[in-house]
């Protein structure tokens, strides 16, 4: 892009303040950062890569002096929601991935204090290396995603909402001041990572889906490893049974039979998740790469009973609690579903037995199916994986890139729509049918997951895959997602999170809520340099 005099002056000032090795304005870097799975385009003036709080403070000071907006990212893996792209043109992207220190981990109080560049994999490996009996609330995304970045956009893991497990934030505000939330601003507070609210108004919520500052560290909740864990895989063969499944799982959750998030996916979600893993198993076993083997992988899922909807639930507790939970889950859903219970021991025994009998075609198939299910099983026990990324390429038909590490640099397109539904099975089924019909009018299939977060609300994760090389498909994909968001809003199911192209769907000038948010913006970021247009009036 052609830089304005103000942008050029800011770039030179940033080079002086944080060093030229942390400031990039060359065409190649800007092009790399502006590729996105949502196929949108934005113009950015620079990429800034600080490695310390002090460098972030200097970056903010220069941005205020020259009135250049900043768009902070952690790892930039916001695939389907905008990736690393700002909401508006003209910003400098502040890439915080170099701030990747694990500052503290407490075993007795099960928390970690981390910088924004720390990833799921990095923290899990740290816990394993130190032999700490702690678990992370993992998401179904890849291992290289940021803990703080995901929590700041209220991501949902396999055990809880990430937004409910973050506190004691260190934040550089748009006005240049640095604050610590909760008890963190008391220098001698020994409870700053134990009691999230502090004293006085709680400010943490301002920075989740806010554009008031840059979070440079935070406390992230961990979980003590339980005595035992298992996963329940529940499958139904008729979509009309979905309300019964949801209502049964809600009652079990209300009673405390399990306390994690139940992930319930439709056929399309199950297939794009599991089929690429089965396909790879088939190719490793000697099948030729190509369409015929891909079709065989899909048929194996059909034969394996992955019908209209399947649920995955992690259950944690003592051995006695799990024995009771298994009985209660089976009793609640046995009349209309098939349920498989897995734990480490049963998986190990099954793998050993099937390997021994792998010369039998049926056993070999079962072994492949087990290998495909293992990454999903891993989520329910606090593991992370990069295998889930294959679903992006598979859904978009980009079969040559199943092992590519970054879908932004591929031909695969994906967009998400994320409504919140009440935990009432019949209402969810009506919304599912409306979603499928709306997608079909645009020529797309809807991959849908409805996640029972507690006894009250369900997170909808609706994804749309498309070929970014096809201009017509790109336009229809955006129209479809935005119409679906409007339809959910009209039905009373606002999204809890939107992509960079959909801020107008939720932010309205005549809403006193957004007016209040805007007034806070004036106080905390008077020059409007922080992520303009992001969850705020422009």
- 520 pLDDT above the threshold of 90: yes
- HSE-CB for 6 with a 13 A CA cutoff: 11
Gap between the Cα atoms of 9 and 99, Å rounded? 25
pLDDT in tens, 130-170: 999 999 999 999 999 999 999 999 999 999 999 999 999 99
Residue 430 is encoded by which pair of tokens? 């009506």
More confident residue, 525 or 2: 525
- Nearest C-alpha neighbor of 311 from the set 161, 460, 449: 449
Gap between the Cα atoms of 11 and 2, Å rounded? 13
Which residue has tokens 């598979």?
Answer: 394
CB proximity list for 403: less than 8 A, separation 6 or greater: 390
Average pLDDT of the residues of the chain: 97
Q: Are 71 and 94 in contact (CB under 8 A)?
A: yes
pLDDT in tens, 215-255: 999 999 999 999 999 999 999 999 999 999 999 999 999 99
Quickly list DSSP for 208-233. TT--SEEEEEEEEE-EEPPSEEEEEE
pLDDT in tens, 86-111: 999 999 999 999 999 999 999 999 99
Assign 3-class secondary structure to 19-47.
CHHHEECCHHHHHHHCCCCCCCCCCEEEE
Share of the chain above pLDDT 70, in %: 100
- Please give the C-alpha separations between residue 439 and each of 77, 181, 212, 462, in angstroms, as whole numbers: 25, 43, 36, 10
Task: Quote the Cα angle for 318-324-329, to 5°.
Answer: 120
Gap between the Cα atoms of 317 and 225, Å rounded? 9
Gap between the Cα atoms of 341 and 508, Å rounded? 47
Q: Are 260 and 369 in contact (CB under 8 A)?
A: no
Sorting pLDDT into bands at 50, 70 and 90, what band is 358?
Answer: confident
Average pLDDT over residues 452-470: 97
Sorting pLDDT into bands at 50, 70 and 90, what band is 305?
Answer: confident
Q: Are 413 and 474 in contact (CB under 8 A)?
A: yes
Phi and psi torsions of 93, nearest 5°? -80, 125
Gap between the Cα atoms of 273 and 393, Å rounded? 10
- 2 pLDDT above the threshold of 80: no
Go through the domains of the chain in sequence order and give each one's CATH number: 102-224 (3.30.465.10), 228-385 (3.30.70.2520), 407-506 (3.40.462.10)
Average pLDDT over residues 435-455: 98
- 261 pLDDT above the threshold of 70: yes
pLDDT in tens, 9-54: 999 999 999 999 999 999 999 999 999 999 999 999 999 999 999 9
Gap between the Cα atoms of 486 and 493, Å rounded? 9
pLDDT in the model for residue 509: 96
- Nearest C-alpha neighbor of 106 from the set 185, 207, 192, 217: 192
Residue 138 is encoded by which pair of tokens? 């993992």
Gap between the Cα atoms of 256 and 455, Å rounded? 10
Sorting pLDDT into bands at 50, 70 and 90, what band is 304?
Answer: confident
- Nearest C-alpha neighbor of 452 from the set 260, 237, 319, 278: 260
pLDDT in the model for residue 1: 67
Assign 3-class secondary structure to 103-153.
EEEECCCCEEEECCCCEHHHHHHHHHHCCCCEECCCCCCCCCCEHHHHHHC
- 379 pLDDT above the threshold of 90: yes
């Amino acid at each position: 892009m052609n830089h304005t005099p103000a942008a050029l002056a800011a770039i030179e000032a940033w080079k002086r303040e944080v060093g030229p090795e942390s400031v990039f304005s060359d065409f190649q870097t800007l092009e790399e950062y502006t590729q996105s799975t949502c196929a949108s385009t934005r113009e950015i003036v620079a990429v800034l890569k600080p490695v310390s709080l002090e460098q972030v403070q200097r970056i903010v000071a220069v941005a205020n002096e020259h009135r250049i907006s900043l768009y902070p990212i952690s790892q930039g893996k916001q695939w389907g929601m905008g990736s690393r792209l700002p909401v508006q043109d003209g910003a400098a992207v502040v890439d915080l991935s170099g701030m990747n220190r694990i500052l503290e981990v407490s075993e007795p109080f099960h928390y970690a204090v981390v910088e924004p560049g720390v990833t799921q994999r990095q923290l899990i490996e740290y816990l394993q290396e130190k032999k700490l009996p702690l678990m992370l609330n993992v998401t179904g995304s890849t291992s290289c995603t940021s803990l703080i970045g995901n929590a700041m956009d209220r991501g949902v893991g396999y055990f809880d909402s990430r937004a409910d497990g973050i506190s004691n934030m260190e934040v550089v505000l748009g006005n240049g001041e640095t604050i610590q939330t909760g008890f963190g601003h008391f220098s001698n507070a020994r409870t700053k990572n134990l009691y999230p609210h502090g004293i006085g108004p709680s400010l943490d919520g301002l920075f989740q889906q806010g554009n008031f500052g840059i979070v440079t560290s935070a406390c992230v909740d961990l979980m003590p490893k339980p005595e035992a864990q298992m996963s329940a895989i529940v499958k139904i063969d008729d979509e009309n049974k979905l309300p019964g499944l949801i209502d049964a799982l809600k009652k079990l959750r209300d009673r405390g039979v399990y306390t994690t998030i139940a992930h319930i996916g439709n056929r399309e979600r199950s297939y794009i998740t599991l089929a690429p893993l089965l396909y790879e198993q088939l190719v490793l076993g000697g099948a030729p790469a190509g369409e015929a083997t891909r079709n065989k992988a899909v048929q194996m899922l059909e034969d394996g009973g992955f019908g209209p909807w399947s649920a995955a639930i992690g259950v944690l507790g003592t051995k006695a609690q799990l024995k009771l939970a298994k009985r209660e889950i089976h009793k609640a859903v046995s009349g209309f579903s098939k349920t498989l219970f897995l734990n480490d021991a049963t998986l190990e025994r099954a793998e050993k037995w099937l390997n021994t009998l792998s010369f039998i075609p049926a056993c070999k198939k079962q072994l492949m199916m087990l290998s495909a299910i293992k990454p999903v099983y891993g989520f329910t026990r606090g593991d992370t994986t990069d295998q889930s990324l294959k679903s992006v390429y598979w859904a978009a038909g980009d079969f040559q890139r199943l092992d590519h590490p970054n879908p932004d640099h591929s031909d695969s397109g994906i967009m998400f729509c994320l409504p919140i539904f009440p935990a009432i099975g019949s209402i969810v089924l009506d919304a599912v049918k409306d979603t499928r019909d709306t997608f079909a009018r645009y020529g797309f299939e809807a991959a849908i997951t409805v996640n029972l977060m507690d006894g009250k609300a369900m997170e909808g994760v609706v994804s749309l895959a498309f070929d970014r090389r096809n201009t017509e498909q790109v336009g229809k994909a955006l129209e479809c997602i935005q119409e679906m968001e409007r339809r959910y809003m009209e039905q009373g199911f606002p999204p809890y999170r939107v992509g960079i192209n959909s801020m107008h769907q939720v932010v309205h000038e005549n809403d006193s809520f957004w007016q209040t948010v805007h007034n806070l913006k004036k106080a905390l970021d008077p020059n409007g340099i922080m992520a303009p247009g992001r969850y705020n009036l422009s």
